[in-house]
Amino acid sequence: DGCIKAVGQADVIRKQFSEATFERIIDCSGKCVLPGLVDAHTHPVWAGDRVHEFAMKLAGASYMEIHQAGGGIHFTVEHTRKATEDELFATFQHRLERMLRAGSTLVECKSGYGLNLETELKMLRVIERAKKSMDIGISSTYCGAHAVPKGKTATEATDDIINNHLPKLKELKLSGEIHVNNIDVFCEKGVFDLESTRRILQAGKDIGLQINFHGDELHPMKSAELGAELGARAISHLEEVSDEGIVAMARAKCAAVLLPTTAYMLRLKQPEARKMLEKGVIVALGSDFNPNAYCFSMPMVMHLACVNMKMSMNEALAAATINAAYALGKSDTHGSLEVGKQGDLLIINSSRWEHLIYQFGGHEALINYVIVKGKVVYENERCETMSSY
């Protein structure tokens, strides 16, 4: 059934299954078996890369300056609206395969480069297709409130989402066409203010979506306090979170999805992971894969979390497995090696699991097998001929 049957000492397991026959046995002598990694925050469906903006950033332009110059999210929206569903699916599939080879077995995938109902639904259909046709696990998020569409005010955009987008999503959910798991809003100064964010998140919650949104990234917005009050499952970014917000999230068991790639690439201050951990917040990690932060690799995200956010390797591994699964409402089935949980595993070509974090960008020759639901979905032949050291 694709679930883990037994976990324990080798001799006990051998004895327990001495009569059993297996389709395949993998010799893991000198290797490590880990839970499949969980990427708790990605934007992987879009057309039109933004490599030209990377040069602007390096020359000193800020995120909001690029955004106001017609770049950023609006540039991607323009290209995504023009792309066909098949074009979007082809690039999305390729990106998911790269994530899988880097060890991610469950990925949160957002819409949000449509900003109109037609394109948002096109993106969600692309995500639905991948859910049905690919091995990787997907948690889908409707993020129609990713930016205010050109020609609309934030209030008009909010009304459109509540009156048109969400009722349509509810209808498609009931007919079984699209199954969305989470609702997201970019709660930010100059984008969606606290009141608009509250209205959209509450309306999403009312149709059965988990609240999982962008908050307190560029300016302190009291997003964390709002999320805790609304019973949010998770809040992402939190570079500018208040001390009160941290306490409120810990009390509400609302996960903090920290994105060290974003702070690194935008040269922002890093989220205060240590303060959150000390206050008892459930800290998860995500790659924030998008045209602005082009990173597929959770091992590299864990490395950045340790170096730049001062997390320990144990904390980073928990944040990229069980805690990231919790942020998606899936920690009862994913994120750890326990009997009855889904058989999503990595086998790495090293006797010490820490190499997965210690080797910055070394995962391509280190991840030997990726297994989803007990089935080998990626096997790396290079590992058989070389030592990981």
**CATH code at position 205:** 3.20.20.140
Residue 153 and residue 215 in one domain: yes
295's CB contacts (< 8 A; 6+ apart) are: 261, 287, 288, 289, 301
Residue 227 and residue 369 in one domain: no
Nearest in space to 228 (alpha carbons), one of 207, 249, 243: 249
The Cα–Cα gap between 98 and 66 comes to 28
**Range(s) of the domain holding residue 353:** 3-34+343-379
Answer yes or no: is 375 within a domain: yes
Residue 271 and residue 199 in one domain: yes
Residue 9 and residue 129 in one domain: no
Structure tokens at 228: 């805790």
Residue 7 and residue 93 in one domain: no
Q: Return the pLDDT at 71.
A: 85
Q: Return the pLDDT at 117.
A: 98
Q: Return the pLDDT at 68.
A: 80
Count of domains observed in the chain: 2
63's CB contacts (< 8 A; 6+ apart) are: 57, 72, 218, 266, 292
Neighbouring-strand partners of residue 210: 182
Residue 174 and residue 250 in one domain: yes
Residue 22 and residue 43 in one domain: no
Q: Return the pLDDT at 389.
A: 54
Answer yes or no: is 126 within a domain: yes
* Series of mean pLDDT values for 10-residue runs along the chain (389 residues): 95 95 93 98 96 89 84 92 98 98 98 98 98 98 96 97 98 97 97 98 98 97 98 98 98 98 92 98 98 96 98 98 99 98 97 96 94 97 70
Answer yes or no: is 72 within a domain: no
Residue 242 and residue 368 in one domain: no
Q: Return the pLDDT at 63.
A: 81
Question: Angle at CA 179, nearest 5°, toward 175 and 182?
Answer: 135
Answer yes or no: is 52 within a domain: no
Residue 324 and residue 353 in one domain: no
Answer yes or no: is 53 within a domain: no
Residue 29 and residue 41 in one domain: no
Classify residue 116 by burial, with Cβ atoms within 10 Å: 0-12, 13-18, 19+.
middle
Question: pTM of the entire structure?
Answer: 0.97
Residue 246 and residue 268 in one domain: yes
Neighbouring-strand partners of residue 192: 187
Residue 195 and residue 181 in one domain: yes
